[in-house]
């Protein structure tokens, strides 16, 4: 896959390229899967890749729940905005920011872990979980599998915790549907913002960066039109961030984290 596809710009090129970069440039979300299972060996490889990601102070503050049971996937799908591909995927991974492991360690050692109650530690849990999961996605794609992240797993975090038997001091951060991509799915590599809109040199220059947004709106609008979709990037961002009513219940997440034992003071 080329930089031209990644940016929706036929003139875009990279001065260096290798197999890893080609794989990363070809990434797309996959929401339709064949009936091929994800093997235990493949799952083991994905988790090994995830555990090879960077982790703050080697805290390793995450866990993952592999869900294959059709009934459980169906219940999780209902909790995550009724997205049918969750139930259809052969494997659904729920990634968990896990501060309970450290608290269990403290309990056995008779130690105090007061820093676990602060926002910084909760952020570390979320950041490290995301780093690990992205490693797993790249590994999956290298094996010919596809995946899509599911942020809607945060729509009903307490019900998800009950469904998965999560301990206190943990929260499901997102899901990841994994399987062999169905070649009939109408999707392709979605163009991203031009590099000049996100890459700053030495100091942040908002005016220079934002000049590239109209061009990107045109490119993403053309991409969407290919698949019967409407709109461009700017409108989507403004709609998604309109207010609490556009957040599918996630505007209550701070209070929910407190009830789950992640007070984040």
- 178 DSSP β-pair partners: 91, 147
The answer to whether 230 and 224 are in contact (CB under 8 A) is yes
Locate the domains of the chain by residue range.
29-187+252-259
Tell me: pLDDT of 1 over 80.
no
Distance CA 256, CA 37 (A): 35
| pLDDT digits 0-9 by tens, 66-93 | 999 999 999 999 999 999 999 999 999 9
The answer to whether 224 and 231 are in contact (CB under 8 A) is yes
- List the one residue out of 219, 221, 246 whose CA is nearest residue 231: 221
- 93 DSSP β-pair partners: 66, 176
- Going by the DSSP 8-state scheme, the letter that residue 217 receives in this structure is H
Q: Which two tokens stand for residue 69?
A: 């049971």
CATH number of 29-187+252-259: 3.40.109.10
| pLDDT digits 0-9 by tens, 23-49 | 999 999 999 999 999 999 999 999 999
Q: Which two tokens stand for residue 133?
A: 């999961």
Contacts of 20 (CB under 8 A, 6+ apart): none
Tell me: pLDDT of 148 over 90.
yes
pTM of the entire predicted model: 0.96
């Amino acid at each position: 896959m080329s930089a031209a596809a990644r940016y929706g710009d036929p003139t875009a090129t990279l001065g260096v390229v290798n197999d890893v970069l080609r794989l990363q440039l070809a990434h797309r979300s996959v929401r339709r899967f064949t009936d091929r299972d994800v093997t235990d060996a493949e799952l083991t490889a994905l988790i090994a890749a995830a555990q090879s990601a960077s982790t703050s102070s080697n805290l390793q503050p995450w866990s993952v729940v592999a869900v294959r049971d059709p009934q459980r996937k169906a219940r999780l799908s209902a909790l995550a905005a009724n997205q049918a591909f969750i139930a259809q995927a052969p494997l659904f991974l729920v990634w968990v920011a896990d501060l309970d492991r450290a608290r269990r360690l403290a309990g056995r050692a008779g130690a105090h872990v007061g820093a676990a109650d602060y926002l910084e530690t909760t952020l570390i849990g979320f950041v490290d979980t995301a780093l690990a999961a992205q490693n797993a996605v790249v590994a999956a794609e290298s094996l010919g599998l596809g995946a899509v992240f599911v942020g809607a797993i945060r729509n009903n975090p307490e019900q998800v915790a009950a469904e998965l038997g999560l301990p206190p001091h943990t929260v499901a951060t997102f899901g990841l549907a994994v399987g062999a991509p169905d070649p009939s799915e109408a999707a392709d590599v979605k163009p991203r913002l031009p590099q000049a809109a996100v890459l700053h040199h030495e100091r942040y220059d908002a005016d220079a960066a934002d000049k590239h947004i109209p061009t990107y709106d045109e490119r993403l609008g053309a991409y969407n039109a290919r698949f019967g979709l409407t709109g461009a990037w700017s409108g989507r961002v403004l709609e998604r961030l309109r207010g609490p009513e556009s957040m599918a219940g996630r505007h209550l997440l701070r209070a929910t984290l407190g009830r789950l034992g992640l007070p984040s003071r």
